[in-house]
Structure 1
Amino acid sequence: MGTPQQRIGSGFGGRSTAREVLEGVDLTGRLAVVTGGYSGIGLETTRALAGAGARVVVPARRPEAAAEALEGIEGVEVDGLDLSDQDDVRGFAARFLKTGRAIDVLVNGAGVMACPRATAGPGWEYQFATNHLGHFTLVNRLWPALADGGARVVSVSSAGHQASPIRWEDPWFDRGYDRWLAYGQSKTANALLAVHLDRLGAAFGVRAFSLHPGAILTPLQRHMTREEMVDRGWIDENGALADPAFKTPEQGAATQVWAAASPELDGVGGVYCEDCDVAVPAGTDPDRAGVRDHAVDPVQAERLWAFSAELTGEDAFA
C-alpha cells in the first residue's frame, strides 16, 4: 500500500537550503550516486551530501568538466555516463558493480529540457530517452547495489509533468513535435518510475521518491533563448532574474537532498515531493501546485515500467 500523497509537516519550506535540511544528519560511511551532480542544483546536491559525510559518485556526460566543477569537494569521484546511450549506461553500471560497493542513495538528477527535436537509440524521442529511459536502465543495472544498501532512489521530476501524461498513442511525437510537451511527458515518466520502483523495492528496503525542485536558473535552460525567458517573465532585458518565485540553486537542491537523506521519510515512499515536503494532489491546491493524478497513478506506473522494460530489455525484477 502506497504512502498517502499529503504533507507531513517537515518544518522546512521552499526557501530552505540543502545544507539546512541536512543539519544534524550524519552520512559518514554512506555512498551516494548523483547523476548530473556537477552542474546547477546537482552540484549543490553533491556539495551538501559530501558535506554531511557521504562519499559521492558523480557519473557525468562530460567527466572533465565535472572534475573541474567538483574540484575541492572532498569525498567525490567522477565517472563517465551518457544517459542517452543505453550501452554507456550499462558500462557505467558494470564498472560500479565491480567495486562491490552498496549504494545508500541514488539521485536521478541529470536531464535535458525543451531541446530541439532529436532521437536516441532506435528512434526514441530524445528527452524521454535521456530523462527517463537512461535512468530506468541505470536503476535496473544498479539494482544489486541498491538492494544491498537498502537505498533511497530519488528521481528529479518537475512541475512540467503537469503539461503531459504519457502519450501512449504517440510517445515519440511522430505526429508533430512539441518540445515542452515532450519535456512534460519525460517528467511524468520520472514520477511514475518512483511510484512503481517503490512498489517493487519496498520489500528489499529500497524506497523511491520523485520531486519538483522549484524554478531555478541553471544550465538546464540552455535550449531557451533570452527572448523566451524574458517573455515568460523569468529574467529582465539585461538577463537579471525577474521572477521572485525563483529559487537559488542551494534552495533548488533542498527537496532532493531532503528526500535522499531526511529521517522524516523513514518508512515512506512512492510519493512526489516539493518544497521539502510531500506534495498535495494538484486538484486540491488553489495555486495548482502539487502533483497531477497522471504522475502518481500506480496503474500508469506499472504500464510504463513494462513499456520501458520492453524498450530497453532491462528488468531487474523479471
Structure 2
Amino acid sequence: MSAHPRTIVLIGATSGLGRQAARQLATDGYRLILVGRDPGRAKDLARELSRAHVIEADVATSDGIDALVGQVSEMIDRIDALINNAGVMRPTRAVTAEGFELNFAVHHLAPFSTTSRLLPLLRRGEGRVINVNSEGHRTPMRGGGLVVLDFDDLQSERGYDPFMVYSRTKLANLMFTYELHARFPELTVAALHPGFVRTRLGREFPTIQVGLVHAFALSSRRGAEPVVRLATGSVSAGRYYDRFTPVSSSPHSYDTAAGRRLWSITEDLRGPFAA
C-alpha cells in the first residue's frame, strides 16, 4: 500500500459478508470507515478492527444518514470507494420512523441519499460506488412471478409478500445504479450479486426456511470476495456483476424511462440528489 491508502466507506459492515469484507479490507491496509446499525455489533467490530473508524448509524432514516454524513465529513476529506451493503428482509411489513416501507428505505432510499450526501467527498477521491444487489432482482426467491416496479404502490401498502418486496426493492436499487451512472459518468458505479450467501438476513423467518437456503449458500467469507474485488480492483462502470463477472441484468432493470421516473419520485421523497 502507498503512504496514503485509499479510503473506503462500507455501509452495513457489522455482520455477514459486510463484516467479512471489512476484515479483508483491513488486512489489505485500506483506510476504513465502517457503518452499522446495531450498537453492540458496532462496538465489537471496533474492538476487532482497532485501526478502522466504526460508526453506529441507521441509514434507513434521513436523520441516521445526516448523523453518518456529519461524522464521516469530520474524519476524512475524500472517499475513494463507497460500498452500499445494508440489507433487510422481514416476514411482515414494517415502516421506518418516516413512514417508508423498510425494504424500500434500506435497499433504495438509503443508497440514494447516502451517495448523494457523500458526493462531494467521492468527487475528491476516486469516486467509486458499489451497490450490493441480488439475483433476486430477476425473480423472487420463493413463489416466482415477474419482478417489476409498481409505481402505484412503491411502499407495498396493498399487499406484502416479503420475497417479492425484497426483489422489487433490489430492482429499484439496480435501476438507481444505472441512472446514477448515466447522470454522473465521472463516477465509477457498479452493482453486484455476491452469490447466495449465509447471512443473518432471513433470521426472522422460520428456521426450516432459513436452513434450506443456508444448506446451499456460500460462506460470508466467499460472499465478501467479489465485494472487495469490485471496491478495490478493476471494474467496468455501469455494469451489473454476478460475483466477479459482468452479466446482463433483467430486461426491466434497463427501462430508462422507469429509471428516470424512480429518480424523480425519490427526489420528491428525499430532496434533490447532491443538493
TM-score (norm 2): 0.90
Cα shift at 1:85: 1.5
Aligned to 1:277: 245
Residue 262 (str. 1) matches residue 233 (str. 2): yes
What is the alpha-carbon distance in structure 1 between the residues aligned to residue 256 and residue 233 of structure 2?
25
Any idea what the Cα deviations from partners look like across 1:72-118, whole Å, max 9, x if unmatched?
Answer: 33531111210122111112112222335200011000110144211
State the SS of the aligned residue for 1:71. Answer: helix
Structure 2, unpaired ranges of 5+: 140-146
Q: What's the counterpart of residue 111 of structure 1?
A: 87
Matched, 1:34 2:2: no
Aligned to 2:223: 252
On the 8 A contact 1:272/1:296 being kept in 2, the answer is no
Tell me: CA distance 1:62–1:50, structure 2 relative to 1, closer, same or farther (3 Å).
same
Larger deviation: 120-129 or 48-57?
Answer: 120-129
SS in structure 1 opposite 2:202?
helix
Q: Which of residues 153, 158, 167 in structure 2 aligns to 1:170?
A: 153
Deviation at 1:26, TM superposition (A): 7.0
In structure 2, distance between residues paired with 1:144 and 1:193 = 19
Q: How does 1:1-318 map to 2 (within 5 A)?
A: 29-163=5-139, 164-203=147-186, 206-230=187-211, 233-234=212-213, 241-243=214-216, 246-263=217-234, 265=235, 268-279=236-247, 281=248, 291-316=249-274
Distance apart, 1:275 and its partner CA: 2.3
- Deviations, residues 256-309 of structure 1 (Å, cap 9, x unaligned): 21211113x2xx311110121112x3xxxxxxxxx2122233333222221111
Q: Which amino acid aligns with 1:132?
A: H
Partners of 2:81 and 2:174 in 1: how far apart?
17
Q: Greater relative contact order (Cα 8 A, min sep 6): structure 1 or 2?
A: 1
Name structure 1 gaps, 5 residues minimum.
1-24, 235-240, 282-290
Aligned-residue identity in percent = 29
The alignment's TM-score, normalised by the length of structure 1, stands at: 0.79
Cα distance in 2, alignment partners of residues 114 and 54 from structure 1: 33
Cα 1:199–1:178 shift into 2, 3 Å: same
Task: Tell me, in whole angstroms, the C-alpha distance in 2 between the residues paired with 1:27 and 1:60.
Answer: 28
- Runs of 4+ aligned structure 1 residues displaced above 4 Å come to 25-28
Equivalent pair of 2:9/2:79 in contact (CA under 8 Å) = yes
AA in 2 matched with 1:218: T
Cα deviations by residue, 1:173-203 (Å, 9 ceiling, x for unpaired) = 2221111111111111221121111122223
Aligned residues: 268
Q: Which amino acid is 1:213 matched to?
A: P
CA change 1:260–1:105 in 2 (3 A) is same
Secondary structure of 2:89 counterpart: coil
C-alpha change, 1:30 and 1:159, in structure 2 (3 Å) is same
* Aligned-residue CA RMSD (Å): 2.0
